[in-house]
Amino acid sequence: MSVQQKQGYQQSSMNKARTIYKYFTAVEQSEGVGAKVRRSIGTLKLRNFTPFLMLDHFTVAPPAGFPDHPHHGQETITYVLGGMIAHEDFTGSQGVLRPGDLQFMTAGKGIVHSEIPVKLDSDEPAVGLQLWVDLPEKLKDCEPRYRDLRKDETPIANPHDGLEVRVISGKSYGVESLSELAYTPVNLYHFISSKPETKFQQTFPDDFNVFMYVLKGTVNVNNQDFPQYSSIFFKADGSHVEGFSASDDSEFVLVGGQMLEQPIVQHGPFVETSRERMIKVFGNYQSGTNGFERAPGWTSSISNGIAQDRLSDFEKSSS
């Protein structure tokens, strides 16, 4: 945690709105195989924001994608906003995420998987968000797991005219989500406003770092307008985040996560707390041991793509 964040945490007040720590616009860059992402967390502007390691707003269409690759020591949250994403890993888990679906994946001690956009008859690309979340040191060697959350499994809050809140993880305006979707406590909300000057307010625990990402339109926070693709990071100096929509239609996500008081040693998709532990992880991956036993020689069935007419058979074979 930075000095500014620690100072903010000590000044926390139960009736005060959080103030802004940093903000910038996420710039598009290439990632994976032919994919385009707008990355905010995980850049030179903000390397990490404990417990968050990376946030990508991705747009990916076949033949681009994220073919077979490993992870260790972290969790990923994938939220599909448009199109479809097929996923498969070396444990035999596989499935398809459709618009509005989410996947909470815990890599733990090790996993190798593939995330590929489905080639749709409409040629629509897959669009969504992927968030990387650090795991507490004591859980970095846990068994991997998946939790898929379908669109119809997330409750909606409609606190007043012009505002809809999709409560993915946490509680908003009296509406509560499913619990225990990730090991590291994370609250995730999708706010949708249909008219300008629609006010919003969302509370978070004192020990949570909080950020906002603007998906559409313009949002006003702390008397400042933030346009599409803005990333706004808050100090831990208040009980809630508040603001209002500044355009006819606006959408944004508000995300909070419990701060982890531990070092972050990251090399691509491997995350540890020391150089020594990281060296061991690389050794495990190269030798196919301690979580990576199934990695040598494994290739996903979707690494070369998957078409819409194959989905039925693909999902039937899911284990």
Binding site per annotation, positions for Fe cation: 69, 71, 113, 115
In 3D, which of 103, 114, 128, 99 has the Cα closest to residue 36? 128
The residues, any chain, with a CB within 8 Å of residue 277's CB and separated by 6 or more, are: 140, 265
Q: Which residue has the tokens 């509560």?
A: 176
Locate 277 and state its tokens: 């532990």
In 3D, which of 51, 1, 17, 22 has the Cα closest to residue 237? 17
Q: Which residues are annotated as a binding site?
A: 69, 71, 113, 115
Identify whether the C-beta of residue 263 lies closer than 8 Å to the C-beta of residue 274: yes
The residues, any chain, with a CB within 8 Å of residue 260's CB and separated by 6 or more, are: 50, 51, 134, 136, 184
Locate 185 and state its tokens: 């406590």
d(CA 193, CA 196): 8
d(CA 172, CA 253): 13
